[in-house]
Amino acid sequence: MSGSVTMHSVFVYGSLMADDVVRLLIDRIPQTSSAILPDFHRFSIKGRVYPAILPAVSKKVSGKVLFGITDRELQILDEFEDTEYVRNNVQVLLTDSSEKLQTKTYIWANKNDPDLYGTWEFEEWKQLHMEGFLKMTKEFVQEMNSPESEA
């Protein structure tokens, strides 16, 4: 084992903006900073409670950056986001400092998905769906940590 550990930063814009969801997934709340992702739009998805983002000129998505994410934690986030999302590098603007930052984020894989519509709102999600989402996240973590999932 070498002594160096790669740390990642990840721009989150949906359910992962909720500290309780992040704590369930990686067992801690990392340092964060509010951020804006320019030239993207956050869509609602028919039949889902979480959002999708896709490139969109002159639009912007507000969210936050999670700092100090380990390789293992990034792997957990990858599994959580599943194959419907593609992890990509993007440049965000940190709202506290106006500093530009290269970071990772999860972009919806199907650019022509007919189920994308409107604009997803975090505050509305918190009120309507967060409780059920936390239960689902807990089940995801239990399943991920069960011996059968090691295969």
Q: Is residue 32 part of a domain?
A: yes
Residue 147 lies in a domain: no
In a domain, 148, yes or no: no
Q: Is residue 72 part of a domain?
A: yes
Q: Is residue 68 part of a domain?
A: yes
- Which whole-number Å values give the CA distances from 87 to 55, 90, 129, in the listed order? 14, 10, 24
Query: Does residue 149 belong to any structural domain of this protein?
Result: no
Domain count, the chain: 1
* Total Cβ atoms within 10 A of residue 138: 13
Give the Cα separation of 105 and 90 in Å (integer). Answer: 7
What is the CB neighbour count within 10 angstroms for residue 69? 22
What CATH number is given to the structural domain containing 20? 3.10.490.10
What are the tens digits of pLDDT across the range 85-117?
999 999 999 998 889 999 999 999 999 999 999
Does residue 150 belong to any structural domain of this protein?
no
Q: What is the pTM of this model?
A: 0.93
- What's the pLDDT tens digit per position in 20-69? 999 999 999 999 999 999 999 999 999 999 999 999 999 999 999 999 99
Containing structural domain, residue 86: 8-141
- Name, in order, each residue with C-beta under 8 angstroms of 106's C-beta and a sequence gap of 6 or more: 53, 77, 81, 85, 86, 87, 88
How open is the CA angle 128-131-136, to the nearest 5 degrees? Answer: 115
Residues carrying an active site annotation: 81
